[in-house]
Every structure is written in C-alpha cells, then in structure tokens.
Chain A
C-alpha cells in the first residue's frame, strides 16, 4: 500500500530519487514490493558476534530487478537468506531492522506465516542446483510437491502445470524430464528446473542467489535471458545477488553495492555504470580485465576483506582506500550524504566533513573498462 509520507530511511534507500532539494512529501513513491530497513544479521562465533549483515537498507520495486553486488564476505547471500528467515541457526540470528514485504514486516510474522510466504509469495533459487534438488525424487515429483504444499494445485492439474512450466523454461521434452532424476540432467537444465519450481506458485518476488555462477557462459546467458523474459511476462520482481558486474549490467534496473555488511552505493544501473562514485565500486570496475587494458597492470584493491568479527571502526573500506584521510579512520560515513545525488557511503561526498580534500573521487577514464 503506497504511503504518502516517507520515512527518511526509505528516502535514502530508493535509487530513483532525484535531486536532494526536492521536498520529500511531493514525491510519489513507485510501488515498492520489498523494503529492507537497517537489517542486521549476526552470528555468534568465537571472538564475538560476526556482523555479517550490519544495517542494510534497500528497496525492490514492483516488476523491477535489483542487483546486489559484492564480493565474498560482504553479506549479500546472508541478506537474501534473512529476507526469508533462513539464516542458519543456532549460530545465526537476526538482530534488528525491518523486512517490509508489501508493507508488512516479515520479521513480525509467525513461523506458519513465513511458511506460507516462502515458495509462494517469495521464491528463492540458489547457486548450486544439485544440492537444492532432492536427489532421490524425480523432477516431476518435486515440482508437484512444491505446488501441493502451498495448495496452488493438486494431482493431475499440478502435473499439467508442472509440464507447462518446464516447457516455459525452455526444457525440450518436458514429459521425459518429469520422470528424470536430478543427476541425469546437466547443470543448466537443473537450474532451469529450479526456476520452474520457483515460479510454479507465481511468486511476487524471486530471490536469485548467484544463479549462474556454477554454469558455463553460454548457459548463463540463456538462464539470464529466461529470468528476464519471465519477469516481463509475470510482472514479478527480482532480487539478484551476484559478484559479476557484467550480469548486473545485463539484467538489472537498479544496483546496491555491498561491502563489509553494508550497502556502500545504490543507484540505477545506468547511473552506476556511467559514473561509479564509491571508491570500492570504482576499484571493482578498475579490476576488470579487458582488451583495452592489455599490456598494463590492472588497478587493484590492495589488501583483503577484514573479518566480520572485527569490522574497522570508522569507514570500513578505509584500510584499502586510496583516497582515505584522517577522518575516515575515526568517523563512519553516512549512508546518504548531502553532497551526492544518490546514497554513497563515503566522506568524499559529505559537505559536513570539515577536512575533505579538494580532489574529488570522480571516476577517471582509467576506472571504467
């Protein structure tokens, strides 16, 4: 349900907001399907809590694709799992924040309510379909079960729908596939089955966690195209979790870049690729090998991601940032400073920070491939 007044956090998170000078109440928010507010997911380990997700906020709009981009250890997969409350227990727990799905906070839901939502309103597909599919049950059995569990269809009707969905995801000979077992299919086919299963109950939101990382490049292209087509056909939203900027460019409408458990930059895809603002995002772009960079060293991000039990105080990217100065070590940057037209977690864009150096962090030609 669209609301006329917005919380300031929603304002910060939405990538489609224009100039900072527009008064808040005049903006009509496009239909927001999923909104995360300051989500925190921690793990109890030796040495203190591991803050895997530490204050993540973003918005997924109706019918659009948001890509969450980050490298290993940034918390993107855990964010996806937290939405469906599939965080591995007992070590993991959701420490705070809100997960607003169609306006209602999922973190307030009972176990039964979540069970209803999982697989029906929100579906998830994972990187390795072999471990997501039951190896001792036929494909047909698993598809039908997915529907029967949510009461979407039963028996013969469910089987028909299952075959239709297999056909829709591009598997030829769906009647044969229905009787096959997961190990008899190739990686690409298995992922298509996963998609079919995820889509069988017509979800409003599809969370795809690195769906093509384990696949060959040609199959990856087909799967991505398929997801995009299905999205346009059904009007569902997609939350795509990936580390590959190429995929982001191809299939997403907006992007949130994550580092060290936080969102460091949010933008529409076009804006992000035109001018990445956060030094980490710039570093990611600079690291991509390409023909134009032949013969030269790739600009690298020195160092490694710090452990989640000991995020640096102040800016978490500071130890690896080439623009860092004194304040960065002691003061954590705001998520959406006034000096930028979109959320960028960096002091370089914050006019309130006194000792900001005059050189801006505008991307130079060397950063973009």
Chain B
C-alpha cells in the first residue's frame, strides 16, 4: 500500500477521574494505544460497543479533542507539525457527519447558512451568490431540492437532515470524512437511502471514510477494512472477509454471534445465552 491518507500511531486518550482531594490521580483509559492506517478512497469501519472508545478516536482524528499521547498523520504530515493556517487547512480536508440528525444541525440557521458557513471560513467561492449556487448544487447531489436552502432544519425529517449534514461536510470539499454512526438513528428504509448516497459519493469523489458504528450489517456491506475495539484497544483488524469469516479473537466471535440473523429457522440467539 502506498502512503496511507490517514495514519494513526499509538493514540491515547486518558480522562482523569476525580476521586477526592487526597486520593492518587486515577485515569479512565478511553483510548489506549490505538494504531491504524487508512488508504485513500477506502473505508475503515471502527466497530465496538459503547464505551469502547471508538467515538473518542473519531473526535481526536478531527482535531476536536486533544490526544494524551500518540500521533495522527494526515497526508504524510503529523498534526503536531502543522500550526495556524495549516491547521485550519486540515479542517477543510477532514470533515464529520454525526449520529443524531436532530442535534447535528443548528436549528436557528437556514440550510443555506449551514452550508455556506464552511465556505466562508475557507474562502471558497468569490461571493455570496457563488456560494449559494454551490450550496444548491450540493443539495442536488445529496438528493434534496435546492429550495430547501431557505428552510430551517425542523422542517425536515431525520433522513433529510442527515443528507443536509452530509452536504455540509462536502461543502468544503474534503478528502476524508469521519462518520460517527450516521445511520443508527434512522429507520432502515431511510438508512438504505443514506448508505446508497454515501457509496456513490465515495465513488465519484474518491473520498476516504472512517465509519464508526456498532451495526455489523452495515459494516459488512460498506466497509473495506474493519478494526474491532474493546475497552480502548483494537483487538482485531483486517479485511471484512477476514474478520467476519475467520475471527481470531473471542470478543470478535461474541460480537458476530450476537447479530440477529434473518433466518427464523436458525434461532441461534435463543439456543445459547452467554452471560
């Protein structure tokens, strides 16, 4: 593999736990020595249950959370190497889509304002009219009509809001997008629309995705590589076929066993109940 777009080395995030005035300092190891690479145009799925630290990894990758240790290298250069305007440039290249469509958009801003805000920060488009045109364009690409520009988020459904969030992420023309459970809050029929959209966007724009989720069905459909996290560490990684067909770790096996199958004749969950 030639130089990966995103490279993470020994990433750590420890949160101090306050025990009392005189107790020794204790830490919660939310992320404990995580390393992985993502090649350009690929999708890495970061899988784990709640408390595994996967969302924290995402936040650090987006430079929204300061790591306690380790390096994040983007396009060959570590974060720490970039300062000021170069750091800002990073923000243009790395974007995010969050889980909850109801809190990921500012309800007091119109769709147009939401979509053009990033453009204003990064000086995309020479004037307001051009930016508006680009915003309209983005909306059509995510399957919404351009007259949504004048409306407010509360006028849209959950699935439509997620599309707006995706459009916002695309508004600054990023290379890499962190998707933190983007479809978990959506109905399955809406989820399929959003997944199709993500797939097509990735193809046409050669985007790289870090897909954080606990939904293994989505992982096996969409991702190229999988990394399984438990308690802040990656316990298994590989291609989707490798991990799903030949899991090496007991935890991975347990995860895979827990997925309800769509075959009512093989009610495997109820046969054995591991506690």
Does any Cβ of B come within 8 Å of A245's Cβ?
yes
A284 and B274 in contact (CB under 8 A), knowing A217-B259, A291-B240?
A: no
Of the candidates B187, B269, B270, the one whose C-beta lies within 8 Å of that of A243 is B187
Contact with B along A271-285 (1 / 0, CB 8 A): 001000000000111
Cβ of B196 and Cβ of A250 under 8 Å apart?
no
Residues of A within 8 A of B117 (CB): none
Q: Which of B31-39, B106-114, B128-136, B213-221 contacts A (4 or more CB under 8 A)?
A: B213-221
Give chain B nearest CB distance to A50 CB in angstroms: 16
User: Given A243-B188, A246-B260, A269-B264, is A224 in contact with B217 using a C-beta cutoff of 8 Å?
Assistant: no
- Decide yes or no whether A164 CB sits under 8 A from chain B: no
**Inter-chain contact total with CB atoms closer than 8 Å:** 134
Residues 249-266 of A at the B interface (beta carbon under 8 Å):
249-252
List chain A residues, Cβ under 8 A from B193: 300, 302
Which residues of chain A are near B249, meaning CB under 8 Å? none
The reply on B265 being an interface residue by CB < 8 A is yes
Choose the segment among B17-25, B118-126, B250-258 that binds chain A (4+ C-beta atoms closer than 8 Å). Answer: B250-258
Interchain CB contact (< 8 A) of A287 among B189, B257, B262, B272: B189
CA distance A263 to B115 in the complex (A): 40
Report yes or no: B255 in contact with A218, Cβ–Cβ below 8 A: yes
Question: Min CB distance, A272 to chain B, in Å?
Answer: 8
**Chain A residues, Cβ within 8 Å of B50:** 187, 216
B2 within 8 A of partner (CB) = no
**Which residues in B have their C-beta under 8 angstroms from that of A72?**
158, 187
Chain B residues numbered 184-232 whose CB sits less than 8 Å from any CB in chain A = 187-193, 195-196, 199-200, 214, 216-218, 220-222
Contact B270 A228 (CB under 8 A): yes
- In the assembled complex, A138 has its CB within 8 A of some CB on chain B: no
Q: Which of A220, A221, A251 counts the most B-chain CB atoms under 10 A from its CB? A: A221
Report yes or no: B265 in contact with A71, Cβ–Cβ below 8 A.
Answer: no
Query: Which residue from chain A places its CB closest to the CB of B214 in the assembled complex?
Result: A217
A283 to B262, CA, bound (A): 15
A127: shortest Cβ distance to chain B, in Å?
Answer: 13
Q: Identify which of residues 186-224 in chain A touch chain B, using a CB-to-CB cut-off of 8 Å.
A: 187, 216-222, 224
Total count of chain A residues near the partner, CB < 8 A = 48
Q: Is the CB of B259 within 8 A of A246?
A: yes
Distance of A283 Cα from B192 Cα, bound (Å): 10
Contact of A249 among B188, B195, B199, B263 (CB under 8 A): B263
Q: Which of B49, B158, B244 is the most central at the interface, judged by chain A CB atoms within 10 Å of its CB? A: B49
- Which residues of chain B come closer than 8 Å to A252, judged between CB atoms? 264
With both beta carbons as reference points, the residue of chain A lying nearest to B240 in the complex is identified as A291
A residues lining the B interface (CB < 8 Å) = 71-72, 170, 187, 216-222, 224-226, 228-229, 243-252, 269-270, 273, 283-291, 293-294, 297-302, 304, 369
List 21 A–B pairs whose Cβ atoms lie within 8 Å, in order of A's numbering: A170-B275, A217-B255, A218-B254, A222-B273, A222-B274, A222-B275, A224-B260, A224-B269, A225-B272, A229-B270, A229-B273, A245-B188, A245-B262, A250-B268, A251-B269, A252-B264, A287-B191, A289-B191, A290-B217, A297-B200, A301-B189
Q: Which 10 A-B pairs have the closest CB atoms?
A: A246-B260, A289-B221, A225-B273, A287-B192, A71-B187, A221-B258, A216-B49, A298-B192, A301-B189, A291-B220
